[in-house]
Chains A and B, each alone.
With several copies, the nearest count.
Chain A
Amino acid sequence: MSQTTHGLGGLKYDPTKKARAPEWNVFFALVGIIIVFELIGRLFMGDSFLFNTRDNVDTLFNQARLQIIILQVSIVGIIAIGVTQVIITGGIDLSSGSIVGATAMIAMSFAQVAMVNGNPNPKAIFGDLGWMDLPVIVPVLVGLSCGVVAGLINGSLVAYTKIPPFIATLGMMVTARGIAKWWSKGNPISFPTDSYALIGKGMTPVFLFVVLAVLFHCIMTYTKYGKHCYAIGSNEAATRMSGINVDRHKVLVYVIASGLAAFAAIVLSSKNLTAQAGMGVMYELDAIAMAVIGGVSLQGGRGSILGTVLGALIFGVIISGFTFLKLDAYYQEMVKGVIIVGAVVLDQWRQQSRSRGK
């Protein structure tokens, strides 16, 4: 009768042989890549990738490197958290990079200071209106609203007109990039207030990334919202027949994804102290790649935020590893492509060997 905790009898069932969570494979890939960099470093360069080799500091690890590994992916990582949810519902979001561009421009224009180095701000967008030195809440709310509006449009198109998410978000991608350029006619927008500059200062982006990742991991695992995301991605028609308002749920998912992209834009523009129309180009592909490397299935229904975070870390390690190895810039892209593919092949290969029975 000990079996009844798992099921209703029938076949013999050995709960200790439960399949390993797929996130483990991603984790092993991450560790493997780190080890490769560490080995190459030790053998060919006489330097360590992870550990501290400087005399003037007495930490065990090379702390600066650990920090930059996470820091440089935390902004795309925030986007990837939202993109993961979209992919789990069986959709895709190509617009996140452009939303970053448009939101950064719009939010930044509400965050400008009046005086730079004693001169009036030469780039003030709303200088005539005197909208400068506004409290930080204004640009943040404006930025988030941009994301919500974009998400509402994406979501409504996908849910109510039933066009493929690829097209709906491709349209948004083109349109939002147009808006970004039009907003200040191609000029960059700079010189934010000190309080705005705090949002993305130092390691704050990492902190925000981690908090959001934990929050959404719990939401995807423990709440109705998460369960319905998986259900829709798994079998949309069935979910609809089960009496779930699939359309409303989809709108919510796209709003959350675009909202996170907008939030990432705020952090990014604050970190860089500037906003440009070209910001965020290709972020959508990086975010999707992080999710897929982390085991999220483009078919929908499978994957987790934890996986995506691991996928993001793989990206971070690769970028830092390349600089560490002083790899020629021309080769970096080639090798990056190979590693992305390699990580997924590895994951696939392990899953298959597992499904063969052991």
Chain B
Amino acid sequence: QDIGVSMALFDDNFLTVLRNGLDAKGKELGVGLQIEDAQNDVAKQLDQINNFIASGVSAIIVNPVDTSATQAMSDAAAAANIPLVYVNREPVNVDTMPDNQAFVASNELDSGTLQTKEVCRLFKDAGKTEANIYVIMGELSNQAAVMRTKDIHDVIAGPDCGVKVNILDEQTSNWSRDLAQNLMTNWLSTGAAFDGVIANNDESAIGAIQAMKASGVDMATVVVAGIDATQDALAAMQAGDLDVTVFQDAAGQGAGALDAAIKLSKGEAVEQKVYIPFQLVTPANIGDFLAKN
């Protein structure tokens, strides 16, 4: 029994953990997994699915590059009558999927919201009524980056925040630590005062932290938030540099997706939608997450 897996991206911290979860579960159950790297290319991903179909796999797991591109994938798999499971990102056609397709994912709306609300809370606790922040976005062509940035705007514009937060500037680091470092240094060179940095991912947050430390900024006075809860981020949090991050159970999602795929290939019924929630990570509960990602 062979199962084909198409991952959106290999060299992504979070997706690697998910992939490792899949792999471990596969070894445990003794199923052969063939994992392909779509390198963030929707078209390549669709081709990979067609290649799996040509090889006659018994089920396909897809970590979609683009959740709005899933219709064509569902169609291809349905035509060949091969079960399909989406993992980590919710497909657009979730309501019209055929019976032998399912998804296991988190709701991307939650991550940015959790993160920004916690930042608001920290500002409030520090007794501020108004705060200036910088926002570091991920790659602009990526949906997660767009969603998370939108969440930030929604929360600070909404009633839940309680503090008046001004965004001084909003730029992209393409998810990368290095560009985030340069970006932060450029911001520091303008001399404007700020109270926090919200980044779309942990790598960018760490880059900002490194730049601030190099310029002698007191890390206790700024709030820095990321998303992913990577090991580097947790270490930064332990060191008191990073204040907020968000954890999502990558390994759990991977294992869950494989379970569903195997059941579908045997013709068993599964629950079509499985949501796995995001969890907020702060210095208070960091201990629960150290061994997870």
Contact = CB atoms under 8 A, between A and B. Distances in A.
Given A68-B189, A123-B68, A277-B11, A186 B145 contact: yes
A284 to B, nearest CB: 13
Contacts of A271: 43, 46, 72, 178, 181
B231 interface: yes
Interface in A315-336: 319-320, 323-324, 326, 328-330, 332-333
A116 B67 CA distance: 16
**Which among B56, B187, B189, B290 has the greatest number of chain A C-beta atoms within 10 A?**
B189
Interface stretch (A1-9, A163-171, A187-195, A221-229): A187-195
B259 interface: no
Contacts of B65: 278
Contact of B46 (A116, A272, A319): A272
Interface residues of B, number: 80
A68 B54 contact: yes
B69 A64 contact: no
A188 B54 contact: no
Given A117-B235, A180-B141, A272-B46, A188 B68 contact: yes
Interface stretch (B118-126, B167-175, B218-226, B243-251): B167-175
Contacts of A323: 4, 34, 36, 48, 51-52, 54-55, 169, 171, 183, 186-187, 190
B50 A72 contact: yes
A272 B43 contact: yes
B22 to A, nearest CB: 12
B181 A319 contact: no
A181 B11 contact: yes
Contact of B141 (A186, A201, A324): A186
Interface string A278-293: 1101100000000000
A180 to B, nearest CB: 7
A342 interface: no
Contacts of B197: none
A146 interface: no
Interface of A: 47, 53-54, 62, 64-65, 67-68, 71-72, 75, 101, 116-117, 119, 122-123, 177, 180-181, 185-191, 201-202, 268, 271-274, 276-279, 281-282, 319-320, 323-324, 326, 328-330, 332-333
